[in-house]
């Protein structure tokens, strides 16, 4: 399909017509939008070409390509201006190539020419998967290591990212966390939009922590329902650490964090309409 599109572009270029190609890259997805022709007369038609390539290393799901705004132009067939793929694997391309848009009639034109934007949006779902170590130590073992000068600490903050979002994990103490009676410790998760698109709200069902329970209790206990982004950053998620009482010396636990999110990228291409 892409080879056919390339051949069409070459043929049109040789015949003297020009196509404007405008590309936006959201790191993970490369979106190319073209209008042919880009300058149309009243009552005539232009065709919109959109191709989306997954240049990431992971699969995206529920991908929808939609021409959501046509300005002064009108879609001839709305279904031809939409495209859906259940999944798009790395290196795969989805192409929309039958979206025809009609210019208004001469009677509807009040000026000799006008420029209008055609807007396309690409929505998809993907996941950020994180493996985070939680290291705990008893007070007695901590004191022994301090006196011996053998205590090795790890940072309290960690950052993970994909092509669209970033997650920062902050512990209330440096690792290893010292287990003391009556002590309360926390871990905080801060999510940021680092791509050039829009991210959806995050619900508790989208933020899953897979962990092994200790004495029937979760080590990481989070309590929230939904969070919405404020500009490019979400309010942080605060989770209490339920440190087990039976830590005998030094204990390591690995939690797997799965954050599923919806992302949207938009792109516009200008079209000139001549009366």
CB environment 197-215: b (16+ within 10 A), e (fewer): bebeebeeebbebebeebe
CA dihedral 106, 110, 115, 121 (to 10 degrees): -80
pLDDT in tens, 89-145: 999 999 999 999 999 999 998 899 999 999 999 999 999 999 999 999 999 999 999
What's the pTM?
0.84
Q: Decide: 243 and 185 in contact? Cβ < 8 Å.
A: yes
3-state secondary structure of 146: helix
The pLDDT value given to residue 13: 31
Calculate mean pLDDT across residues 28-42.
95
For 2-6+17-125+264-274, CATH number? Answer: 2.60.40.10
Tell me the C-alpha to C-alpha distance, in Å, between residue 120 and each of 29, 44, 192, 198, 267: 14, 21, 24, 14, 5
pLDDT in tens, 36-53: 999 999 999 999 999 999
Spell out the domain ranges in the chain. 2-6+17-125+264-274, 126-262
Measured in degrees and rounded to the nearest 5, phi and psi for residue 81 equal -105, 25
Radius of gyration of the chain (CA): 27
Mean pLDDT rounded to a whole number for the chain: 88
Residue 81 has pLDDT above 90, yes or no: yes
pLDDT in tens, 134-177: 999 999 999 999 999 999 999 999 999 999 999 999 999 999 99
The pLDDT value given to residue 182: 82
Q: Decide: 171 and 155 in contact? Cβ < 8 Å.
A: no
Higher pLDDT, 176 or 183: 176
Residue 24 has pLDDT above 50, yes or no: no
- Whole-angstrom distance, CA of residue 106 vs CA of residue 41: 9
Higher pLDDT, 212 or 247: 212
Residue 21 has pLDDT above 70, yes or no: no
């Amino acid at each position: 399909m892409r080879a056919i599109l390339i051949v069409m572009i070459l043929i049109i270029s040789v015949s003297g017509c020009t196509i404007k190609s405008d590309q936006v890259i959201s790191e993970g997805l490369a979106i190319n939008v073209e209008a042919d022709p880009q300058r149309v007369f009243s009552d005539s038609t232009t065709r919109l070409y959109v191709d989306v390539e997954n240049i990431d290393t992971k699969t995206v799901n529920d991908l929808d390509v939609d021409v959501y705004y046509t300005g002064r132009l009108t879609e001839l067939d709305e279904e031809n201006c939409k495209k859906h793929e259940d999944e798009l694997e790395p290196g795969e391309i989805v192409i929309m190539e039958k979206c025809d848009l009609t210019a208004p009639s001469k009677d509807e034109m009040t000026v000799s020419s006008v420029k209008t934007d055609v807007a396309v949006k690409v929505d998809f779902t993907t996941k950020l998967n994180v493996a985070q170590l939680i290291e705990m130590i008893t007070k007695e073992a901590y004191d022994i290591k301090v006196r011996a000068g053998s205590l090795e600490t790890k940072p309290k903050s960690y950052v993970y990212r994909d092509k669209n979002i970033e997650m920062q994990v902050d512990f209330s103490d440096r690792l290893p966390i010292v287990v003391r009676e009556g002590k309360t410790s926390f871990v905080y998760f801060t999510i940021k939009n680092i791509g050039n698109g829009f991210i959806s709200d995050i619900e508790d069902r989208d933020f899953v922590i897979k962990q092994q329970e200790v004495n029937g209790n979760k080590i990481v206990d989070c309590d929230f329902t939904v969070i919405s982004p404020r500009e490019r950053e979400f309010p942080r998620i605060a989770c209490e650490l339920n440190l087990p009482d039976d830590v005998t010396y030094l204990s390591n636990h690995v939690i797997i964090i799965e954050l599923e999110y919806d992302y949207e990228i938009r792109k516009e291409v200008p079209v000139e309409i001549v009366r």
